[in-house]
């Protein structure tokens, strides 16, 4: 499958590009309804202890012809309102269902981050729909964190801060994803009311070899700490990067060096450790 991209407004897109993107949107919607999508999970770990602190849910497409596809293969469809709404609904429902099963099996539940386009989060009734799905599956809303993606300008959605406030009131965490790229910038931090900031992997890529990169990440961490936000540093792919981050024990870290995405919450490194401790405590009680 060859992804298509059109960076110009729809009216100016070449007809063949617009048609290809429309066809891909319809294929994604058909795949969702046919059960071709599934969720993988990647661990997010405490820099201080190395323990699993939370997880991120990552959607995958098990295409019958092309095999397992990462989101980059169909990212051009995310701007389509129908795709964004249906894909988000699928992710939320699947994560809640799998979390409920994990909890039923004795697993200790940690917060799971879910990527949501700001355009979807800003739709009327989003916070209530999220609570309804949690209630159906019997999990607490505090088990979820909503990551607002960097691909859309938050200023386009003036009601979003009210939605974030309502979500946080019910215990749902809200994160700015990929800070330092796209529209994830300083101007969006204060009015939106985030509880977590995820530092983009692009900022860490040259650390620790590049002094300028080290200075930028250090400044970002210092600012977010002063704002009392939880900071997750993405893109930890080497031992040197992990060791460099150790100077901030309060951070959380995510990346291939720590754990790759895997299917099933139980397969995330560190998930079973606390689950066993939790089971022992339950039996002792």
Contact status, residue 180 vs residue 205, Cβ threshold 8 Å = no
Q: What is the pLDDT of residues 69-92, one digit of tens each?
A: 999 999 999 999 999 999 999 999
Residue 274 reports pLDDT greater than 80: no
% of the chain residues with pLDDT over 90: 80
Residue matched to tokens 């060791």: 243
Mean pLDDT of 102-106: 95
* CA-closest candidate to residue 43, choices 275, 202, 261, 278: 261
Contact status, residue 233 vs residue 205, Cβ threshold 8 Å = no
Mean pLDDT of 236-250: 97
Read off the tokens for 232. Answer: 């997750």
Q: Which fold has domain 36-284?
A: TIM Barrel (3.20.20)
Residue 285 reports pLDDT greater than 50: no
Q: In this predicted structure, what is the pLDDT of residue 207?
A: 98
pTM over 0.75: yes
Mean pLDDT of 217-237: 96
Other Cβ atoms within 10 Å of 188 Cβ, number: 20
Q: In this predicted structure, what is the pLDDT of residue 145?
A: 98
Report CA Rg, the chain: 19
Q: What is the pLDDT of residues 176-209, one digit of tens each?
A: 999 998 887 888 887 789 999 999 999 999 999 9
Three-state secondary-structure class, residue 166:
helix
Residue 281 reports pLDDT greater than 80: no
Please list the alpha-helical segments (H only) found in 112-262: 118-121, 126-137, 160-169, 189-192, 201-204, 211-226, 239-245
12 — pLDDT class (breaks 50, 70, 90): very low
């Amino acid at each position: 499958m060859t992804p298509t991209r059109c960076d110009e407004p729809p009216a100016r897109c070449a007809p063949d590009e617009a048609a290809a993107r429309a066809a891909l949107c319809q294929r994604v919607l058909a795949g969702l309804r046919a059960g071709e999508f599934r969720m993988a999970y990647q661990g997010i770990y405490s820099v201080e202890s190395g323990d699993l602190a939370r997880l991120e849910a990552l959607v995958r497409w098990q295409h019958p012809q092309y095999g397992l596809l990462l989101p980059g293969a169909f990212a051009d469809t995310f701007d389509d309102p129908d795709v964004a709404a249906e894909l988000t609904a699928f992710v939320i429902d699947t994560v809640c269902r799998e979390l409920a099963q994990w909890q039923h099996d004795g697993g200790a539940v940690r917060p799971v981050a879910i990527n949501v386009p700001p355009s979807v989060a800003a739709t009327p009734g989003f916070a209530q729909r999220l609570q309804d799905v949690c209630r159906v599956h019997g999990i607490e809303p505090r088990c979820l964190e909503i990551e607002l993606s960097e691909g859309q300008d938050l200023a386009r959605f003036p009601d979003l801060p009210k939605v974030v406030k309502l979500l946080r009131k019910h215990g749902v965490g809200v994160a700015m994803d990929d800070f330092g790229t796209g529209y994830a910038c300083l101007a969006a931090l204060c009015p939106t009311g985030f509880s977590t900031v995820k530092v983009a992997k692009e900022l860490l890529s040259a650390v620790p070899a590049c002094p300028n990169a080290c200075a930028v990440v250090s400044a970002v961490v210092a600012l977010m700490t002063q704002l009392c936000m939880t900071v997750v540093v993405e893109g930890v792919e080497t031992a040197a990067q992990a060791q460099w981050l150790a100077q901030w024990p309060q951070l959380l870290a995510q990346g291939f060096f720590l754990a790759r995405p895997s299917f099933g919450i139980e397969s995330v490194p560190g998930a079973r450790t606390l689950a066993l401790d939790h089971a022992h405590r339950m039996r002792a009680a």
